[in-house]
Amino acid sequence: MRRSQQDPQTIEKAQPVAAASGTRRRSISQKLNKLARRLRLSHRDSIVTTMPAFCVSDVPARGTIVITRRHICFWPALPSLTPEVKLKFSDVVSICKEKVFSLFPTGIRIATAQRAVTFSNIGSRDRLLQQLQSAWDASADAANSASAIVESHAALAVVSQVEASTDDSGDSGFDASPVVQQLQLQQDVGDRIEDDGEELDGNVEEEDEEEEEEEEEEEEEEQEEQQEDRQLETNRNQPATETGRLTSVCHRWLAKLATLVRYAPRLTWVSAGAVLSLMLLLLCTISAVTLSYRVILLQRQVAALTATQTATAAESSFVDDPLSLKRPALEHQIGWTLRGVSKLSRQLDSLVQRVASIENGR
């Protein structure tokens, strides 16, 4: 069925799924590229598969085993505590099962001429063993096919040279014996194979040098990234200025308000009323405390004025004393403040009763 003949609703349903699968593929590709940079793999050494595993040594280390076309790699979950493992398939001697301690009943032992490493996967050890053996066989087949191609090219080149020399000898009237021709052919083939082997070794050395240069460049990039991360962490840990502190406090309060706004639609009307009542109660409490503090300050001022007036009463008997003029105003202000405190206390009692009724109604 053509796309134009499909149901529009089916197309609309399929588009988000395709977008999600594309996003997932991009995220997986980014993770694999990051893992390849960490393991310093060349662009020709593509990753075949990855699998969570344990590297069983003195202390089991959890991480990810990475199987590429040329290497078996292990990237630990804690690189600072456990070193990574990187083995070439060309150096591998055997891949077999092995009994390890009781936590991992069956392990997979990969042995080279210099060392032996044991991996284990609790979920699918057989699948891990199958992946390793198939990748090892594919690497060996690729190496054998490359050497066979080199040998065939060398043999064809030598045969063509011998045929050309035989034609020249026939034209000149010289008849070479078959034994001499066969010996000469074998010698030329051997020389050609040696020359091609040297050329192949030279090409391999050039590839190794290119890989080393790429690894050095990747290491430099990683060092630069680590240095930038350390610089950012240092800047983040440095003590902030007053403006920075104020900005951070504002950001925290805005985040709290955003959280309240996000969850506000989930609250019922009763819960919203209870929250508003509690907020009003808190504001009234703050106002009452402020007024009480002002009353205390005014009382202290009155006491200071009274003491001053008593001290100066013997020296002056004037009616128009400034202290005596200030005292009625202060007493009036104190009375007004006390009336405000009593009014706030009544409001607080009514708010408490409303909150209690709301809670009983819930």
- Picking from 211, 140, 155, 226, the residue whose alpha carbon sits closest to that of residue 188 is 155
pLDDT tens string 240-254: 444 455 556 556 666
The pLDDT value recorded for residue 257 is: 59
- Mean pLDDT value of segment 317-335: 61
Tokens of 8: 């529009």
Task: Tell me, yes or no, whether 189 and 148 share the same domain.
Answer: yes
**Dist CA 32 CA 100 (whole Å):** 30
The pLDDT value recorded for residue 129 is: 80
In a domain, 40, yes or no: yes
pLDDT tens string 67-103: 888 888 888 877 767 777 888 888 888 888 777 655 5
The pLDDT value recorded for residue 148 is: 59
Give yes or no for residue 111 having a pLDDT over 80: yes
The pLDDT value recorded for residue 156 is: 60
- Provide the CATH number for the domain around residue 53: 2.30.29.30
In a domain, 255, yes or no: no
Give yes or no for residue 18 having a pLDDT over 80: no
pTM of the model: 0.37
pLDDT tens string 328-337: 677 777 777 7
Which structural domain, as residue segments, surrounds residue 73?
8-140
Give yes or no for residue 237 having a pLDDT over 60: no
The pLDDT value recorded for residue 247 is: 57
Task: Tell me, yes or no, whether 27 and 115 share the same domain.
Answer: yes
**Dist CA 313 CA 318 (whole Å):** 9
Task: Tell me the pLDDT of the chain averaged across its residues.
Answer: 67
Domain count, the chain: 3
In a domain, 217, yes or no: yes
The pLDDT value recorded for residue 319 is: 46
